[in-house]
Amino acid sequence: MSRNLQSLAGAIAALALCVVLHGCSSRVRGTSRELPARPGLGAPVDRIGRALTGNALIHPLGPDDVSDRRKEAYNRAAEADWPQFTEDLQRTLALYDSFDGTCGNQWRADRNAAPALRYRALARTLADDRLWIHSKLAVCTQYLAVELAELATPGAATADCGGRTPGHDAVDVFRSLLVLGKTAGVDDGIAQDDHGTSTAEFPFLAAP
């Protein structure tokens, strides 16, 4: 096992232990049993919005069959149906907030709200699964910069186009926001792709 994978495995094990020790409560009931119908031609079958939302936040701890069905429903959902996943998201947001042993410091968490409402604001933001880009700006240094600036998040870059370039460590940014409410601080041990990427030359990603 490489040093990076060992580091990642260690981090996941530590986070799992934290889950057991520090569960933040959102007191939201689950919804997960529905089996999505086979999609028709032209129907959505996957997402390409913000990184990790589906895989990290939709039923991460459920039995495989239940978790997979709910993820599939999430991936297939038409935009009008996105809000129905808000409760799935806020339940898992409570879990991530607990990983540092401090509940209520997650991005957009409301410490003073009732447990059922504490993570609702971010859950609604994430359920609206669009990665915003300011097309008139040519400086793109921060993942989620448009959302972070719009929501007056400490550490948000100013005059940044946002979105996600191949060079952004989107996973670290996202998990740091969920655990600490900051854009850095949670590191999965993988800093960059094994292959070179470009922000200037199409197709931007290296050949597999």
Give the footprint of Ca ion on this chain (CB under 5 A): 97, 100, 102, 105, 169, 171-172, 188, 190
Which residue number, 105 or 198, has a Cβ lying nearer to Ca ion? 105
Least gap, CB of 102 to Ca ion (angstroms): 4
Q: 72 or 187: whose CB is closer to Ca ion?
A: 187
Q: How far apart are CA 68 and CA 85, in angstroms?
A: 14
Q: Name the minimum Å distance from CB 36 to Ca ion.
A: 31
Assign 150 to helix, strand or coil.
Answer: helix
Closest to Ca ion by CB, 74 or 107 = 107
Q: Please, which residue, 88 or 172, has the CB nearer to Ca ion?
A: 172
The angle formed by the CA atoms of residues 179, 158 and 52, to the nearest 5 degrees, is 35
State the minimum distance, in angstroms, from the CB of residue 118 to Ca ion.
Answer: 11
Secondary structure E strands in 21-92? none
In whole angstroms, how close is the CB of 26 to Ca ion at the nearest point?
A: 13
> Using an 8 Å Cβ cutoff, are 177 and 183 in contact?
yes
| In the complex, least distance from residue 80 CB atom to Ca ion, rounded to whole angstroms | 32
Q: Say if residue 99 is exposed, middle or buried (CB neighbours under 10 Å; 0-12, 13-18, 19+).
A: buried
How many Cβ atoms from other residues are within 10 Å of residue 103's Cβ? 18
56 versus 171: smaller Cβ distance to Ca ion: 171
Q: Among positive and negative, which fits the CA dihedral 63, 69, 71, 74?
A: negative
